[in-house]
Structure 1
Amino acid sequence: MKLLKFLFLFSLLFVLSCTSFAQKQTFDVVSYAMPKGWQELKNDAGIQLSFTDKKTGDYAIAVITKVKASDASTTENFDNDWLRLVKGSVQVNAEPMMQESTKQNGWAVISGEANYTDGANTGMATLLTATAGRQTISVVLMTNNNKFQEEILAFINSLELAKPTQSETGNLIAATKINVVNPAMVGLWIDYNAETTGNYVNGNPQYTAGYTRKEYAFYPNGTYLFRRKQWMTSMKEILFVYETGTYSLAGNQLTINPKKGMGEWWSKAGQQSDAWGTRLKAADYKMEKVTYAFELKYFSGSQDHTLILKPLKPTQRDGGSFNNANDPYEFHYSLREKFGSLIDNPPGFKL
């Protein structure tokens, strides 16, 4: 497959749109022309434009982030968003090929691209990051086929940034100081435990099809999603818990502040651990604002990242301790950035 190897031979900067482009739309401080036939999806963090060929699986995606406050340099902002937006989504096997920073309408713009793999797909990822004063914004483009090249180039050439104002910058800084997110915290953190029979063969525990799975998804905008699913062969029912809210960091303290959530008991549908029956009743689950002492550890040998949460007292969210009686009361989560979640939602479940 031919990738967009010569994308940077064209204009990768935020420039005025040509008269041949479609009518402009505006998101935050960015104006753009959406390619014909693409789909649009907005959320609190940004906007995604995409097209997928359902027959071949070929796709093209463009993501525009919202302006956020930053005291970092243009290069540092690019590096942070490359790690968060590109490497956090797909597997990138090389450092991005960079272009020199340029000035556009008061913004310093830097761009880079690299090949990536996403399961069986390979493609090209491009990141454009603009910085002005103490704020930054990025545009990400990903495609696994060069047949979208003309549409992507037309989209890039339609991009236009509004001139930043001092008042906007001041408001952004003030808002961001409320909750400063550690980039190392962002991602999907999992605690998966398999059910055992209690028997051992040659010193190895014997497992059933049952499991208990807990997950925290910490997002860059300071929100989180917590889910817990318990499917045990020794129990007749399935327990499912979800919770959303905000989180904040202060030194080595992590505060979880839930806004919405609940627990549910479901019946089983046979002995398949990923099959749901019917919703039976609400579980006795209480949302709790909890402050944890936390540690982030990296093990170079296994290249694993571990998040250790230490509550001051037992919490319903954590569901008790899996440690031995004399072990510290703490919970270990592993970063799962490549393979995604193993918790499936009940039928009809939406956030």
Structure 2
Amino acid sequence: MKKLLFSFVPILCTLTSYAQKENFGIVNYTAPAGFHLIRHENVLTYYKEDKNTGAYCNIFIYQLVPGQGDPKSDFDNAWNNQVQKPFKFTASPAMQPEADLKGWKFLFGNAKYNDNGIATLALLICFSGENKMQSVCILANSDSFKSDIENFIGSADVSRSPSSTASGQNSTSG
């Protein structure tokens, strides 16, 4: 999993995808193949589970909201409210350096935590700009989702102007 983490920022900055893009807020992405989608007003949740092994991967794309004023404050707020509190752990994230994508600053952090006795990786990408923020949280408890995570992050991009609705299918994707 550690090798996986170091490949995310360059992938996010450089790859483009030729598949049909979905969007939510400022985040444009290709929906992960084989994942189910649950759509709520403030978050899109893509999930995939292996019921035989209990392995899972969840991708949460949160709505564009007012920011805290700077990328680090936005990241800390998202980490606290979208990762630590809902999943009940206190680990501090290992951070990557701040980067820029089409005028939006973004920070990437990750931590491992124990989910019912299973080591689980939490990843958070937080985009900040124009006094707004949007985040993507990924949780996975198995290396079997490595390519799904890499493909999703590799497909992710931001638009300069925010979009308020998501496009695409209503119940499943892939």
- Is there any run of 5+ residues in structure 2 with no aligned partner, and where? 164-174
Deviation at 1:16, TM superposition (A): 4.6
Number of corresponding residues: 161
CA distance in 1, matches of 2:75, 2:25: 19
SS of residue paired to 1:75:
helix
Q: Any residues of structure 2 matched to 1:138-149 within 5 Å, and which?
A: 138-149=135-146
Matched residue, 1:18: 17
What is the CA-CA distance between 1:72 and the residue it aligns to?
2.3
Determine which of 23, 26, 45 is the counterpart of 1:29: 26
Residue matched to 1:210? none
Query: Under a length normalisation based on structure 1, what TM-score does the superposition of the two structures give?
Result: 0.44
Matched residue, 2:150? 153
Give the distance between the partners of 1:17 and 1:66, measured in 2 at CA.
22
Aligned to 1:233: none
**Paired residue type of 1:54:** K
Q: Is the 8 A contact 2:78 2:135 kept in 1?
A: yes
Aligned identity (percent) is: 27
Amino acid at match of 2:65: K
Tell me the alpha carbon deviations over residues 124-177 of structure 1, each in whole angstroms, 9 at most, x when there is no partner.
000000101210000000000001001100100100111037xx8xxxxxxxxx
RCO higher in structure (CA 8 A, sep ≥6): 2
Q: 1:116 deviation in Å?
A: 1.0
**1:176-215 aligned within 5 A:** none
1:5 and 2:2 equivalent? yes
Instruction: Give deviations 1:188-242, integer Å, cap 9, x for gaps.
Output: xxxxxxxxxxxxxxxxxxxxxxxxxxxxxxxxxxxxxxxxxxxxxxxxxxxxxxx
What is the CA deviation profile of residues 323-342 of structure 1, one whole-angstrom value per residue up to 9, with x for unaligned ones?
xxxxxxxxxxxxxxxxxxxx
- Normalising to structure 2: TM-score of the pair? 0.85
Equivalent in 47, 51, 55 of residue 50 of structure 1: 47
1:162 match: secondary structure: strand
1:122 maps to amino acid? A
Instruction: Point out the structure with the larger helix share.
Output: 2
| Bigger radius of gyration | 1
Supply the distance in 2 between the matched residues of 1:11 and 1:116 (Cα, whole angstroms): 19
Residue equivalent to 2:168: none
When structure 1 is superposed on structure 2, of 52-61 and 88-97 the one drifting more is 88-97
> Are the counterparts in 2 of residues 25 and 32 from structure 1 also a CA contact under 8 Å?
yes
In structure 2, do the counterparts of structure 1 residues 14 and 61 end up closer, same or farther at CA, with 3 Å as the change threshold?
A: farther
Q: What SS does structure 1 have at the residue aligned with 2:110?
A: strand
| Contact 2:121–2:139 (CA under 8 A) maintained in structure 1 | yes
State the alpha-carbon separation in 1 of the partners of residues 66 and 14 from structure 2. 23
Q: What is the distance in 1 between the residues matched to 2:42 and 2:122?
A: 19
**Amino acid corresponding to residue 51 of structure 2 in structure 1:** K
Partner of 2:38: 41
Unaligned 5+ segments in structure 1 are 169-351
Alignment match of 1:96 (pick from 93, 98, 103): 93
Alpha-carbon distance in structure 2 between the residues aligned to 1:26 and 1:135 = 16
Q: 1:15 Cα deviation (Å)? A: 4.8
Q: Which residue of 2 aligns with 1:124?
A: 121
Deviation for aligned residue 1:120 = 2.7
SS of match in other structure, 1:164: strand
- Aligned residue for 1:23, secondary structure, equals coil
